[in-house]
Amino acid sequence: MSSSEEKKAGFLAIELDGAGYENLATAVLAAESAGFHAATFTDGRVPGRANALQRAAFAGPVTRNIAVVPEVDTVYTEPFHISTQLASLDYVSGGRAGWIVTAAESPEAAAAVGRSSVEGAALAHEAAASIEVGRRLWDSWEDDAVIRDVATGRYIDVDKLHYVDFETPSDFPGPGYSVKGPSIIPRPLQGQLPVLAAASLVGEGLVPADAVDAVLVSAPTPELLAGEVRDVRARLGASVAIVVELDVVLDARGEAAASRSGSAEETGRARFIGSAAALTDLLDSLLQESDGVRLHPAVLDVELDELSRAVLPELRRRGSLRAPIQDGTFRDLLGLGPAENRFATTATGAGK
Amino acid sequence: MTRDIFQPSGQIQFGIFFQGVNSGTIWKAPESGSQTDFESFRRLVQTAERGKFAAFFLGEGLRLREHLGRPHALDVVGRPDAQTMLAALAAVTTNIGLVATQNATYNDPADLAHRLSSLDLISGGRAAWNIVTTDNAWTGANFRRGGYLDHADRYRHAEAFVETAKRIWDSWETPSGPARRVLHEGQHYTVDVTPLLPRSAQYRPVLFQAGDSPEGRDFAARQADVIFSAHPKFDNAVEFRRDIVARSVAAGRGANAVQIMPASEFILAATDQEAQDKKDWVRSLQIGPQQAIAYLEQFWGRELSSYDPDGPLPEIDPVVEETSETRGSGFHGAKARQLADQWRAEAKDKGLSIRQFVTSKTARVDATFTGSYTAVADHLAEYARVGAVDGFNISPWLVPTGLDDIVNHLVPELQERGVYPTEYRGTTLRENLGLETPVRSEEPARVR
């Protein structure tokens, strides 16, 4: 073990897609009490999968500490709606919301909304534009815009509301668009929700690194993850948090992981197959390299049970797992300071 | 045969319409809470559920109202996304219906149908869609599509949209799937989708609609489960019911297929006199001096702050070139002069000050039930007896405590009279409203 002053404490996120929409409350509460710091919700066109943002919203009021972070597509969706929905998610979760930005590559998603398929580098342009719209709209109300001044009869101070006047850049591939603003909802509780995206979507010529707060890093095998983290860190700089993606199949309920992992689908993520003890060691080392790890359990109930019983307690004992922050925000978890408002007209409430 | 003859249920139900943005919601009283904090919504929805309300409605915002070219400062501004909030409220409720007002112009049918299905499944079959349309480019400025719909196309577009959504919801081969592919090629959009979600416990989301023009009524009679009408006064309600029954039957649906829940406001107290006094207080807080002047300014197209809100209407004429977008729908300047003359004459006739005049125009005068709990309960029992309405959609004037009086005092009075549910009939909105099971929509033959 490394010396205690060198030891970093990271966070763990768990992907809850396996809970569906019927066992959501049970699953997210189990994840919270196991000590997970964030629950993520995959989206995309899979039969039986309900909208991720709504599943996250449902999870919000049932929990108290765990961050709720849905994937939301940026290509075939309305940026104005996304921004409002995510801001609302922040309200219903008490400031624990985040956004995993995705850029749908699926021709089916395009056909569903009657658009032609967006491909290649254009995907990142769509994502970058949506993030920019979202962030500008979140800032379009200053924190103290609602004044409720009975004497003058003014509910808001209109000087603290701002048009965002977003226009897609001239080199935007595909149909450009504009968004006027301001947002329909006051600034989210966190000011700016943390924005996460796959590392492959972020960088020069893609989504600018300063547009996101964290990247999700994948590698073909668990052994290659640490090296990939170092590469991404070198490429994107230190200001972006790094979250490692890991599929997990554990020995559980008297069955060896290897025999349970037989027909696993191809996810493009590293897959750990083995015992809780071996996973603990792997996570321990990954948490030294990264800011956090997102686990994708093979069978939610089974893995979550094993993780909460045998993995998280040991990681906590070793000091490599962050203690949950009572009533903390997702920004707190990622170590982000207060979000400055780009439109702020006064110094109060802004600044780090 | 009997399907063609309307049968009163002898019951009324309540819904709550949390509009969020209007002059009806009082924010100036000390007990007014936040319009955005989750706790306000939780408090209201749980009170409504305690009072066996059938449904909780949320309004939708697509662009902030403006006044003389800037965001409107005087009334409540800003509200959460309807479906996101309702998904969260699904977690803290068990029986009440969750109704999202969603625009058929600035949403994609496949995406909206999927999200409403999600809400329906997450809530165990309690979701509904309050269908609205918009056609102005001013709202479109916030969306990829921009403003693209001619006014005349509004209902044609909305109807094609709703039919596509129904086909998506009805696309399952068995209750749990798989789904058949849904294609729509229309003037305004193209949809080619294989739906992902199974049938919900109530088959598909319940549809609410509020159009009042002849086109709007026909649209509702063909497509909606419940009409959110603007006719709560007894005689108007009876007449409206007759009209909707005729239109429903003409559309090939049963006389009871479409329910009616008018928008309404309740101002209640222990005695009639107290309720009248309360009404004066409510109105004074809904339409303060600044709101009264601002209301005229949007029609006059100019600043009128030098006028006394307790004096007569301005003698100065409106600016006719200007178009006000305060209400988001656009008031066209050409009619401004005519309207001003009309209003000045009306106010003079009735001896009304600016404030009194604006209150008479903006308060839900026709939609307000004022009186003692027992008097109002007697009055509502009469609606139930003849089947004038199926229920009322109540807009509370106070958040989050605006339903307390109704749930604590009016509901028990109605229950004693046997005209209001004492328990939820079931767990889905469709069951609780007593709606017929929807007929599964047929796929058009051209679908591959």
pLDDT for B104-157, tens place per residue?
989 999 999 999 999 999 999 999 999 998 877 889 999 998 876 677 777 888
Measured CA to CA, the distance from residue B427 to residue A263 in angstroms comes to 38
Q: Per DSSP, which regions of chain A are E strands?
A: 11-15, 38-41, 67-73, 99-102, 146-149, 154-156, 166-167, 178-179, 195-198, 214-217, 241-250, 270-274, 292-297
pLDDT tens by residue, A3-38: 445 678 999 999 999 999 999 999 999 999 999 999
Q: Which residues of B touch A78 (CB under 8 A)?
A: 106-107, 143-144
Measured CA to CA, the distance from residue B358 to residue B117 in angstroms comes to 42
Bond into B400 cis (ω within 30): yes
Nearest to B84 among A80, A89, A180 (CB): A89
Q: In this structure, are residues B256 and B7 in contact, taking their beta carbons and an 8 Å threshold?
A: yes
Q: In this structure, are residues B374 and B413 in contact, taking their beta carbons and an 8 Å threshold?
A: yes
**To which H or E segment does residue B384 belong?**
helix B373-386
Report the candidate in B370, B368, B362, B401 with the shortest Cα–Cα distance to residue B74: B362
**Shortest alpha-carbon distance between residue A49 and chain B (Å):** 7
How does residue B443 score in pLDDT terms, banded at 50, 70 and 90?
low
B64 and chain A in contact, CB less than 8 A: yes
Write a three-state SS string for A289-332: HCCEEEEEECCHHHHHHHHHHHHHHHHHHCCCECCCCCCCCHHH
Contacts of residue B351, defined as CB under 8 A and 6 or more positions apart, other chains included, come to: none
pLDDT tens by residue, B243-277: 999 999 999 999 999 999 999 999 999 999 999 99
B118 and chain A in contact, CB less than 8 A: yes
Nearest to A62 among B73, B91, B194 (CB): B91
Q: In this structure, are residues B193 and B168 in contact, taking their beta carbons and an 8 Å threshold?
A: yes
SS3 (DSSP) at A136: helix
Q: Which residues of A touch B110 (CB under 8 A)?
A: 112-113
Measured CA to CA, the distance from residue B343 to residue B77 in angstroms comes to 28
Mean per-residue pLDDT, B41-53: 98
The answer to whether the Cβ–Cβ distance between A50 and B197 falls below 8 Å is yes
B142 and chain A in contact, CB less than 8 A: yes
* ipTM computed for the complex: 0.96
Count of CB atoms situated within 10 Å of the CB of B247: 18
Cα angle B327-B332-B334, degrees, rounded to a multiple of 5: 150
Report the candidate in A117, A125, A131 with the shortest Cα–Cα distance to residue A79: A131
According to the model, what pLDDT value does residue B332 have?
54
SS3 (DSSP) at A241: strand
Cα angle B332-B290-B101, degrees, rounded to a multiple of 5: 60
The answer to whether the Cβ–Cβ distance between A154 and B73 falls below 8 Å is yes
The answer to whether the Cβ–Cβ distance between B71 and A179 falls below 8 Å is no
- Tokens 């928008």 correspond to what residue? B263
Measured CA to CA, the distance from residue B124 to residue B275 in angstroms comes to 39
Nearest to A185 among B36, B75, B192 (CB): B36
- Lowest-confidence segment of A63-77, A256-270, B73-87, B426-440 by average pLDDT: A256-270
| Predicted confidence (pLDDT) at residue A352 exceeds the cutoff of 50 | no
According to the model, what pLDDT value does residue A5 have?
53
Measured CA to CA, the distance from residue B191 to residue A113 in angstroms comes to 6
Position A233, amino acid: R
The answer to whether the Cβ–Cβ distance between A161 and B71 falls below 8 Å is yes
* Proportion of chain A above pLDDT 70, given as a percent: 96
B81 and chain A in contact, CB less than 8 A: yes
How does residue A260 score in pLDDT terms, banded at 50, 70 and 90?
confident
**Shortest alpha-carbon distance between residue B150 and chain A (Å):** 20
How does residue A263 score in pLDDT terms, banded at 50, 70 and 90?
low
